[in-house]
Structure 1
Amino acid sequence: MIFSDVSGAFAQTSEQDAHLAIENPADLSKDEAQQHYKSLIRRMARGYAAAQLDLILNYQAWPLFNDAPYISATHGQRYVNSYANRMAHNYGTLQDGEVLPVGSVLAKDSMTVTDEGNVHPGALFVMEKLPSGSSPDTADWRYIMVMPDGSLFGDTMGDRAGAVAYCHVCHEAVADRDYTFYVPEEYRIPK
């Protein structure tokens, strides 16, 4: 079943903690997407910082792996940017069967841009590589979703773990790449 609201978002399942997706994302050029992102970047940083998670402090200063925000179907049809901390140095070159080191953190901030011209900050999606055996149900990955106002939607190692359990279910599709999706080829920054 699909539920819709006035913002153009719809739930992909009928569960209470369903992932909301944008029904009508705008089709933006790279330049347009970048302009919208630049208009929101400070607001997004302030909002996410309200979560007071040391894990994501200054994430926007981390290496960026895309040359412009791109639509991510797995993140609700939102425009996203893919950042990785220095520990995740091999994120951009990870081959099948390789893994990221413990302490690697991947962050995808997001924005909603509808075809009606509505532009809003979206959630921050975070993955943290944990020590072996820390979370067998999620292959030792911690998933966190921070809302634009800094409220915590869920944390697989803390509050509302069930609300973000679907994250790992989706990431199982790329288990051979240490459960990490990568930037679409046309948006990759050459390394």
Structure 2
Amino acid sequence: MNVPTKIAAGILALAPVGALAQECLVDGDPSELEAEAVSRIYECIEAKMAEGYAGNGDPVGAEFRSWHVTSTRPALAGPHGERFLQTFANGIAAEQYLKFADDGFTMPAGSVLAKESFKVKKGNAVPGPLFIMTKLAVGGAPEAGDWLYAALLPNGKEMKIKQSFCAGCHMNWEDQDSLAYPLEEVRLSSQ
């Protein structure tokens, strides 16, 4: 091995995992992207997100991609900081969640929803947190509609969040058991 090759190999060995990954470039205003463009961006970034969320051994971060996907593609949802979101529902949650019911139901205890996210910064799509909602037994968290909120950073480490912050927003959909669904145009159905 010659000296330049050794130097290059040494630099590669020092680079953080994923640092040399392909960039996922975004042309134009993210809020004005066509469905096909969003799908291409997601195809570019999804493996990087999945690897990162699973990177610290969290069970949800490692397993959520085997759950039921709830939309045809990610979509922008303002309450999560102008991030594109793709929601996955575990086996307990999927049947009820995919009905996208407006009222008159409570999700079964043990339901888990995982929302992977990415944001566009300076023309490049970058992974965001994996937002997680877990439905507890009745009385498990009455101030939060019996939901436990959590999140993983893009590297799989636990993100510090305040339950009251997440619940404060999600309780705006109290009739829907605190569920804010994907945008209508991207929703899948259980039918």
Normalising by the smaller structure, the TM-score range is 0.7 to 0.9
Q: Deviations over 1:150-172 (max 9, x none)?
A: 12112xxxxxx53x531110001
Tell me the residue number matched to 2:68: 63
Equivalent in the alignment of 1:109: 116
2:131 to 100, 105, 125: 125
**Partner deviation per Cα, 1:110-155 (whole Å, 9 max, x = no partner):** 11124x421111111110001112212212101011110112112x
CA distance in 2, matches of 1:26, 1:51: 32
Query: Matched residues in 1 for 2:135 and 2:154: separation?
Result: 23
- Shift >4 Å, 4+ stretches: none
For residues 73-121 of structure 1, the C-alpha deviation after alignment (integer angstroms, 9 at most, x for no partner) is 011111110111110121021340201101100111011124x421111
| 2:133 aligned with 1:134 | no
Give the strand-richer structure, 1 or 2: 1
Shift of 1:26: 4.7
**Aligned sequence identity (%):** 33
Q: Secondary structure at the match of 1:151?
A: coil
Q: 1:30 aligns with which of 13, 26, 35?
A: 35
Give aligned pairs, total.
160
Q: Whose helix fraction is larger, Structure 1's or Structure 2's?
A: 2
Contact 1:67 1:187 in 2 (8 A): yes
Q: 1:145 to 1:90 in 2, by over 3 A?
A: same
SS of equivalent to 1:57: helix
Name the CA shift for 1:51/1:143 in 2 (closer, same or farther; >3 Å): farther
Name the residue aligned to 1:18.
Answer: none
Structure 2: runs of 5 or more not aligned: 1-28
How far is the alpha carbon of 1:176 from its aligned partner?
A: 0.6
User: Once the two structures are superposed, what CA deviation does each residue of 1:16-55 show, in whole Å capped at 9, x if it has no partner?
Assistant: xxxxxxxx74522111111111111111111111242223
Matches within 5 A, 1:83-102: 83-88=88-93, 89-93=95-99, 94-102=101-109
Residues 1:149 and 2:148 are matched in the alignment: no
When the two structures are superposed, what TM-score results if normalisation uses the length of structure 1?
0.77
> Aligned-pair RMSD on alpha carbons?
1.7
Counterpart CA distance in 1 for 2:130 and 2:164 is 16
Contact 1:50–1:149, Cα closer than 8 Å, also in 2: yes
